[in-house]
Amino acid sequence: MRKRNGSDDSPEKSDFVSAPEMLLRPVVRLAKTWTRENLQFVGSTWNKMMPYSLKSIRHRKWRSGMLATSVAVTIVVFVLFTSFYNATETAFRGEVQEVPMVADVAAYFPSGWSAEEVHRFNFARDAAAFDVGYRAKIYSSFGYEFVIGLDEGAFEPRSYPDGQRGDAHVTEGIELISGRWPQDSSEVVLPGGEADYLPVQTGDEFGIQWIDGEHRLMKQEYEIVGFFAVEDPLLDQPITRLPEEGQDLGPFTLLQAPQEERHIRPGGNLALFRSGNPQAVARWIQERHPEVQAITPMRGQEMASGLFWQVFSGGRLVVLLVMVFSALGVLNVLLLNFLERRRDMGIFKAEGTLNNEVRIMLMQEGFLMAVFGVTAGVVISWILVTVLDAYTLTPYLLSPITLLIAAVAAISVFYLGALVPAGMAQRMTVNELLYRRNIV
């Protein structure tokens, strides 16, 4: 009769292992590890095996370096994409609602203008942004066309005098930093410094006084319902006209004609109109400009959402592919390391290293390489995002959560990747490791 010898280390093997069981095994093993006794064992083994793990990494410095680099690059790609996505989505979703406004109506310019695709996107996005009240302005051409949306500007890194930094949406001199309107006149500088400005927003009432040859804004007479631009971004031509008193402005109400044609607010003249009847506005637009489609802000937001997801789904796919290939690379290198060192594992075991110690050593090597790669990736990402955000027009919003996710994901990939060779090393006998080749 064949004598069976005890082994608490090598569970009974069956020929078939179900997929759920395969997935659950590491989880169960991990749960087991989280006992006090095992933690102590892991801790002492960690210290005991550290010199060997470090030596192994150092002696394979090129391979380890390449692996860490690939992980770092993956993290950089992930963090850059996520930061860009976050910044864009933040702007798009209007998470910073500094200018609470409610749109009565949005207008959508249908077109076959291929060159206007961008305009359409911008407008739909802007309309949606307006709907949630972020960086929104009313573009009004005083009775000719009426659209709602963001002015065209650029994101530039700026800071307020109080040190608050952020992306400034710059247009014609106004700076909206991190979604905050200027708090006092010193925060707004017009080209040429021709006027001072009060912090105003929709719903404010104000008047204009001529003091020492300059316009000064005072909150008293007029109600601000929005802002309009010198140039309509959609029509790409100057359309600002000052209405005359008594002029038929359709459904708009002229409270008082401006004193002169000039910017009295950076980014556009103050609009002195209010529509009390959005349906009438829509009708008015349709009658005079049938090519312009009046839509609800909600519809505009839907359209913008569709475009937004289209744009980013491609990027997501690319990032996902990069991460998958990186994970496969990690697994490949860790497996290669093990196959190259299977004799070493046999020696370790022959000298009395416990199966779990061998497993922990291999996991430790994977973890250490992950730490090198993750550290490099996080630092490089942070520097890149900061520099790009500060010195380019593209906004980036780096959140600690993003870095944390990247770090945890990378370490998890290493952990999972190291499970395969560590499991093999743990299961195999000394003789299998030292002398037999058919181990995979």
Partner 1 sequence: MSETDGNDVIMTAEKVSKIFLVGAGVRAVDDLSMQVREEEFLLVTGPSGCGKSTLLSLLGGLDRPTYGEVTLRQQKYSDLNENGLAQLRRTEIGFVFQFFNLLNDLTAKENVQLPMRLIGKELDFMQERSEMLLSQVGLQDRMDHYPFELSGGEQQRVAVARALANEPAVVLADEPTGNLDSRNSAEVMNMFTRLNRETGQTFVVVSHDETAIDYASRILHMRDGAIEKVEEG
7 or 114: CB nearest partner 1 = 7
Report the distance separating Cα 291 and Cα 115, nearest Å: 16
Q: Where are the beta strands (DSSP E) in 202-304?
A: 205-211, 214-223, 227-228, 231-232, 237-238, 269-270, 293-295
By CB under 8 A, is residue 209 in contact with partner 1?
A: no
Q: Write the binding mask 342 to 371 for partner 1: x where contact by CB under 8 A, - elsewhere.
A: -xx-xxxxxxxxxxxx--------------
6 or 314: CB nearest partner 1 = 6
Smallest gap from residue 48 Cβ to partner 1 (A): 6
* Helix/strand number for the chain, H first, E second: 10, 13
Taking the alpha carbons at both ends of the chain, their separation in whole angstroms is: 30
Identify any residues that bridge with 296 across adjacent strands, giving them in sequence order. Answer: none
Window of 7-15, 232-240, 250-258, 302-310 that interacts with partner 1 by CB under 8 A: 7-15
By CB under 8 A, is residue 5 in contact with partner 1?
A: yes
Q: Report how many residues bind partner 1 under the rule CB under 8 A.
A: 34
What is the 3-state secondary structure of 295-314? ECHHHHHHHHHHHHHHHHHH
Sign of CA dihedral 312, 313, 318, 323: positive
Q: Is residue 268 within 8 Å of 172, Cβ to Cβ?
A: yes
By CB under 8 A, is residue 7 in contact with partner 1?
A: yes
Window of 8-16, 267-275, 309-317, 377-385 that interacts with partner 1 by CB under 8 A: 8-16
By CB under 8 A, is residue 437 in contact with partner 1?
A: no
Please report, as residue ranges, which positions from 167 to 186 form the binding site for partner 1 (by CB under 8 A): none
CA angle 27, 22, 419 (to 5 degrees): 65
Report the distance separating Cα 369 and Cα 362, nearest Å: 11
8 or 287: CB nearest partner 1 = 8
By CB under 8 A, is residue 48 in contact with partner 1?
A: yes
Smallest gap from residue 346 Cβ to partner 1 (A): 7
H or E segment at 53?
A: helix 36-59
Report the distance separating Cα 357 and Cα 38, nearest Å: 11
Q: Which of 29, 59, 241, 288 binds partner 1 (CB under 8 A)?
A: 59
Q: Which of 29, 55, 165, 219 binds partner 1 (CB under 8 A)?
A: 55
By CB under 8 A, is residue 2 in contact with partner 1?
A: yes
Window of 2-10, 14-22, 241-249, 287-295 that interacts with partner 1 by CB under 8 A: 2-10
**Would you tell me which residues interact with partner 1 (CB under 8 A)?**
2-3, 5-10, 44, 48, 51-52, 55-56, 58-59, 343-344, 346-357, 429-431, 434
